[in-house]
Structure 1
């Protein structure tokens, strides 16, 4: 009896040890289920990447895997060599969240090398796309022509190295060298963007920018630092990125030291979106180090440059410029009213201001808001009269001209002023009395008899802007011009 009871107890203990608990069963089920889904997502990512880049060139991929609970899918060591020789390498490609509709895509160790006209290398330590709309945020087509599409983008450790490469002729039969061989690099600590599509960017900000360039066409070799840059509303027609438009642009704390330019700029902002009827531009504290630029100039040019610097700066060699421009438009039935004002101030030198109000008739069939938002000049516009008033004021520049010019010509200041007034009257005889009054007013400022000259123009009631621009010497006969010296 006792032995039978002992046997029953031992059998029950054995069954307890062998029977799985509910928790163990559930844990096993949860472990098996995501492993199967993970394996499926990893295989899909590899298949999608190979399909996307199969026609673009030679593609290879390393290990593809997924997290244990299916939260992300990863591909390691991606490499694509395009048919044109361009190369893309990505150390790690991660799809976060649901594979079909991921929360984000992260690329680490990205390196894109381009050949030809746009030869260069772009690298990024880390790039993140939020709301990419799918596991591959590119359109079909060649990699070099593809653009990311996502709700937002952030990038760290960006570096772009450029080197002018050989250019293929339009017929594809010849290889040409660039007219100017330019090379350099540009880095940014961080980049953030929103609203990325194949035809534009809603907003973009970059910070911590530094760069260096060699053999730039107008500047030579130089270094650049820029605290921040931002833009909004960058867009272009499909397939035509060169026809881009931009709503707003701003940069802060820029410094350039180059062979032909040494400058610092506190701020530049441009609001070019005229859909709301207004646009503006601001240039704050552009400081040109003319003395340093003269030192960097060829020896044979320094005397002439030093003369101009002395006139502009009074011998300090430092010139500061500030500028602001405001433009407005208003639809008035069959016509539109364009108006604007602006000021350019060169500290201790001059101030130039203008104010305008121009009723115009736009080309038939155009939408005024869209047309004026993209308009860069008055081509195709019919002027319906209007007025333009501009004022040039002396802040020291004109008072310095007689002494500097007299010394350079070896005459007295009085003789120089007499010669200048005689020349002004001569031009007045050739171009009209109004031009004579304008030039005579400038001489008065040099002589200390006036501090500013204002010119007021009244335009003809029906005229083509293109015709007026094509014949500037004929303007006096077509415009009403009044000159006032104060």
Structure 2
């Protein structure tokens, strides 16, 4: 107990910072300090109901804070309150938080429970300086729980956030917004120190909302797992009030944003979206196949989807497990033919784009479509007949002569992604492409 009191005095009571400790006691494998009051030089007061050191004192399993409150002078209520904070394997019985949370030091574990932050007093002034000199911020932030495990520059074992709510008001501009997030979870993120080789076990977002006066940005759910080549990622229930958000943009940008709104939503101002992309490795065939499919759907605009089946031989004796850890192996893998299908279904996007471009040019929509056909045919000299056919088909949809385009691509055998990246134009000449326009 004497060591804990001495360490608390050294860490938290040095200089003009004063500390008072109400009680010290031992409880099994735990040393406890209660009713701690820290008086900071600028007049702020930090109170801690209890501080626990669990396990061996020199190398504790964890240290925990209970009932933290920060009170500023001339502010009636605490500007910060925290029900519980626990640090796993902190390295010392009374660690320096700046050292524990340093970006170059691994963080073994951090848990927060029931955090509340109020924008008042000094904290409000600090945030106002970050926001802008003319801002006058008020508001609050609350959080039910946060968990961090095994975080370093190379990996993140676990990150979970639950029950985030916030409200911000700028008294100077009149802007206000409310933020909500039910849950954010990330598990098994590796390879952060190896660009291109990142690997994710699972990540998920649920119940995101950002709302203001007659506008909102909503996301029901989003998820991701895997790497650049073998993965499952998607989102659903995305909704954006584009029309109302235009009024928040700088005046000089509103005309361009209104044009985008007209094209994407037909002027309704409401955009809903959903999408998913799944790629899987199948070893029950010879050679094994990389299969993938996905879609992106924008309400009132259109939908893009794809399907892919590629017979693949990995370089050398590499296994799929090694390729998952080192995705660059897929770039030198040999493709034994394979097929890719791309489909587009228009719900008004391209015809509205033609109308918007025509308006900007001061010509009729039919004239704009005619110009589009002429320009599309010029691509034959630059990129070959297949690209020209694709561009002509898209202009057909812009003119209202078709509503969907499906493109079938057959790959040669052998073929590598590395070849395509080194010479995309030359490699595209080896592809067999057919189009279906309806």
Contact 1:268/1:281, CA 8 A, preserved across alignment? no
Q: How far apart are residue 236 of structure 1 and its match?
A: 5.1
TM-score, with structure 2 as normaliser: 0.71
CA distance in 1: counterparts of 2:6 and 2:113, whole angstroms: 27
Q: Does 1:458 align with 2:410?
A: yes
TM-score, with structure 1 as normaliser: 0.65
Deviations 1:264-311 (A, max 9, x none): 12323223146xx97322222322322233333344443333233222
Equivalent of 1:74 in 26, 33, 47: 33
Change (3 A) 1:50 1:320: same
Figure out how many residues of one structure are paired with residues of the other and give that number.
402
Structure number with the higher helix fraction is 1
Written as runs of structure 1 = structure 2, the 5 A alignment for 1:66-465 is 66=24, 73-74=32-33, 76-77=36-37, 91-95=48-52, 105-109=64-68, 124-129=81-86, 136=93, 142-145=99-102, 149=108, 153-159=111-117, 187-193=141-147, 200-210=156-166, 223=177, 225-235=179-189, 246-256=200-210, 264-273=217-226, 279-331=231-283, 337-362=289-314, 368-369=320-321, 371-372=323-324, 375=327, 379=331, 381-465=333-417
CA distance in 2: counterparts of 1:143 and 1:194, whole angstroms: 13
Determine which structure has more spread, i.e. the larger CA radius of gyration: 1
CA distance in 1: counterparts of 2:338 and 2:90, whole angstroms: 52
Deviations 1:40-95 (A, max 9, x none): xx2243356679x69x99997532633597786115246999xxxxxx97734422
CA distance in 2: counterparts of 1:278 and 1:289, whole angstroms: 33
Q: How far apart are residue 353 of structure 1 and its match?
A: 0.3
Q: How far apart are residue 336 of structure 1 and its match?
A: 5.2
Q: How far apart are residue 127 of structure 1 and its match?
A: 1.9
Q: How far apart are residue 346 of structure 1 and its match?
A: 0.9
Change (3 A) 1:424 1:164: farther
- In structure 2, stretches of 5+ residues that fail to align are 71-78
Q: How far apart are residue 400 of structure 1 and its match?
A: 3.0
Q: How far apart are residue 196 of structure 1 and its match?
A: 5.5
Q: How far apart are residue 222 of structure 1 and its match?
A: 8.3
Deviations 1:147-190 (A, max 9, x none): 6545x83421254979999xxxxxxxxxxxx9x99x99983321
Change (3 A) 1:352 1:238: closer
Q: Does 1:43 align with 2:16?
A: no
Contact 2:165/2:181, CA 8 A, preserved across alignment? yes
Residue 75 of structure 2 is matched in structure 1 by none
- In structure 1, stretches of 5+ residues that fail to align are 1-41, 82-87, 112-121, 166-177, 215-220
CA distance in 2: counterparts of 1:283 and 1:299, whole angstroms: 32
Change (3 A) 1:156 1:463: same
CA distance in 2: counterparts of 1:466 and 1:295, whole angstroms: 46
Contact 1:130/1:153, CA 8 A, preserved across alignment? yes
CA distance in 1: counterparts of 2:320 and 2:143, whole angstroms: 41
Contact 1:73/1:99, CA 8 A, preserved across alignment? no
Contact 1:126/1:156, CA 8 A, preserved across alignment? yes
Deviations 1:103-148 (A, max 9, x none): 973333277xxxxxxxxxx955222439869984969993442565
Deviations 1:394-432 (A, max 9, x none): 112233344444343333333332222222222234322
Contact 1:193/1:201, CA 8 A, preserved across alignment? no
